[in-house]
Amino acid sequence: MSAAIQLDPATLPDAARALRAEVRAFLAEEARAGRFDPSDPSSGGRFSPEFSRRCGEAGYIGMTWPRRFGGGERSFLERYVVTEELVAANAPVWAHWVADRQSGPVLMRYASEAICADILPRIVRGECYFCIGMSEPDSGSDLFAARARAERVPGGYRVNGRKVWTSYAHRAHYMIALLRTSPPTKEDRRHGLTSFLVDMSSDGIEVNPIINLAGRHDFNEVVLEDVFVPDSHLLGEPDLAWKQATSELAYERAGPERFLETIYMLQALVEQAGPEPDDRLAEGIGRLVAQLSALRQMSVSVASMLEAGKVPVTEAALVKDLGTNWEQALPARVRDLVPAPSVAPGNLRDFETLLGYSTLIAPKLTIQGGTREILRGIIARGLGLR
Ligand SMILES: Cc1cc2nc3c(=O)[nH]c(=O)nc-3n(C[C@H](O)[C@H](O)[C@H](O)COP(=O)(O)OP(=O)(O)OC[C@H]3O[C@@H](n4cnc5c(N)ncnc54)[C@H](O)[C@@H]3O)c2cc1C
């Protein structure tokens, strides 16, 4: 492997084992109390302020953040364990997911102390939710083509434009938006974009639902018309947001949520296989588990690099590309492997529900958070091939 990609062997610390048991007990209690249904395949994509507040009380949000902002000052590897358990259990994490994973860290890096002191403790309590305003109708992969603009006015900026595919914009309190503040220069087409904290309750914001393939309302079009954003909500350097967006995406890309979103299909396959699967089925399950284990090892390695203060952009892209391709192929692999005649009629309905739902969401897995082609471009650049 080239020296340009570094995936150091990493193991989870001993403290992680006790934490894992604690999270499992928490999730079992939440499910028992009827606050979510682990057997509902769509549960993991749900937005539940109630569940997020419970996660906040348990200390599972802002785990790595400073105590002065309500955080737990724990390690990225401990956070990894919590993320892994929440996703594997199909817990309804979406209310706090974006803020915990990427918006909070962006604020800590680029926002004022006053904004951090106001917003971060509310995120940690599971009460304040964020969305990501990067993609636009004509600029998804090519973020540098963004046209939604922020023009200077007294005391701040006036924002006009459209964002699209904005997950849970209809429930979020804030958006971190990538906006054009200057035209690109001849020397650098990435120049001219700035990151802003946008209060979603501001006048001039309209959120229009987009229904996804599974018939759910998760993402939206967001229209911004003469929205006022105060100077204090500018995040980082004006015109230089491309640098910030790149490191933000490293947080987004390599977590266990990038290969566990449809993991219930593998669990269902193992259940269907029973204790004595035939050779073909045992070989198929073994292959899937071995691949999953390798992906997990790589993903833990990226978490350990974040822990060490690095920004593993190429490694994160590699894990996301391999992980999302693996989970996208999973429903079809399971369908090919499952011993149909042995499926008990009662279980068959559940199994087919899982298969149907995972098949419907599979196409999005290699699009959200960066498409396969874009990730491979980043990996090639990291390897010095372009
Ligand atoms: C479920 C889901 C949730 C999302 N949530 C959010 C969100 O919350 N906030 C947000 O900002 N965005 C969000 N997105 C948008 C997502 O980031 C974009 O869809 C993605 O970046 C692709 O952009 P696009 O749809 O404009 O496609 P395009 O960029 O038009 O790409 C179309 C195709 O062309 C390929 N392509 C594009 N450029 C190149 C190139 N240079 N070389 C080779 N191939 C190329 C792409 O790989 C793709 O296959 C979400 C998307 C999904 C599916």
On whether both 28 and 118 belong to a single domain, the answer is: yes
| CA-nearest residue, atom 35 of ligand 1 | 373
The CA 377 to ligand 1 mean position distance, Å, reads 14
On whether both 155 and 43 belong to a single domain, the answer is: no
| CA 169 to ligand 1: nearest atom | 8
| CA-nearest residue, atom 32 of ligand 1 | 141
Domain membership of residue 187 (yes or no) is yes
On whether both 259 and 374 belong to a single domain, the answer is: yes
On whether both 287 and 363 belong to a single domain, the answer is: yes
Domain membership of residue 136 (yes or no) is yes
On whether both 221 and 326 belong to a single domain, the answer is: no
Structural domain harbouring 347? 254-382
Looking at residue 311, its pLDDT comes to: 82
Looking at residue 372, its pLDDT comes to: 95
Angle at which helix 345-365 crosses helix 313-337, to 10 degrees, equals 150
The CA 319 to ligand 1 mean position distance, Å, reads 18
The CA 269 to ligand 1 mean position distance, Å, reads 31
- CB of 144 closer than 6 A to ligand 1? no
- CB of 371 closer than 6 A to ligand 1? yes
Q: Where does a domain end: 128, 153, 175?
A: 128
Looking at residue 137, its pLDDT comes to: 94
On whether both 182 and 261 belong to a single domain, the answer is: no
Query: Rounded to two decimals, what is the model's pTM?
Result: 0.94
Q: Where does a domain end: 112, 128, 144?
A: 128
Looking at residue 250, its pLDDT comes to: 66
Q: Where does a domain end: 96, 128, 160?
A: 128
- Tens of pLDDT along the chain (386 residues) come to 455 788 888 889 888 889 999 999 999 999 999 999 988 889 999 999 999 999 999 999 999 999 999 999 999 899 999 999 999 999 999 999 999 999 999 999 999 999 999 999 999 999 999 999 999 998 989 988 999 999 999 999 999 999 999 999 999 999 999 999 999 999 998 999 999 999 999 999 999 999 999 999 999 999 999 999 999 999 999 999 987 777 666 667 778 988 999 999 999 999 888 899 999 999 999 999 999 999 999 999 998 988 888 888 899 999 999 999 999 999 999 999 986 645 554 554 588 888 999 999 999 999 998 899 999 999 999 999 98
Q: Tell me the best of 210, 321, 371, 372 to mutate to test the pocket of ligand 1, counting ligand atoms within 8 Å of each CB and taking the most.
A: 371
- CB of 214 closer than 6 A to ligand 1? no
On whether both 208 and 280 belong to a single domain, the answer is: no
Domain membership of residue 3 (yes or no) is no
On whether both 122 and 198 belong to a single domain, the answer is: no
- CB of 36 closer than 6 A to ligand 1? no
- CB of 220 closer than 6 A to ligand 1? no
pLDDT in tens, 121-171: 999 999 999 999 999 998 989 988 999 999 999 999 999 999 999 999 999
Looking at residue 340, its pLDDT comes to: 64
C-alpha to C-alpha distance for 84 and 63, rounded to whole angstroms: 14
Domain membership of residue 6 (yes or no) is no
On whether both 310 and 356 belong to a single domain, the answer is: yes
Domain membership of residue 4 (yes or no) is no
| CA 132 to ligand 1: nearest atom | 9
Domain membership of residue 366 (yes or no) is yes
The CA 307 to ligand 1 mean position distance, Å, reads 28
- CB of 76 closer than 6 A to ligand 1? no
Domain containing residue 104: CATH number: 1.10.540.10
- CB of 364 closer than 6 A to ligand 1? yes
Looking at residue 343, its pLDDT comes to: 53
Domain membership of residue 2 (yes or no) is no
Domain containing residue 160: CATH number: 2.40.110.10
Domain count, the chain: 3
On whether both 348 and 370 belong to a single domain, the answer is: yes
Q: Tell me the best of 94, 102, 130, 141 to mutate to test the pocket of ligand 1, counting ligand atoms within 8 Å of each CB and taking the most.
A: 141
| CA 369 to ligand 1: nearest atom | 17
C-alpha to C-alpha distance for 137 and 275, rounded to whole angstroms: 50
Q: 132: closest CA among 303, 300, 253, 230?
A: 253
The CA 1 to ligand 1 mean position distance, Å, reads 29
On whether both 120 and 137 belong to a single domain, the answer is: no
Domain membership of residue 110 (yes or no) is yes
On whether both 143 and 110 belong to a single domain, the answer is: no
Pairing of β 149-153 and β 205-211: unpaired
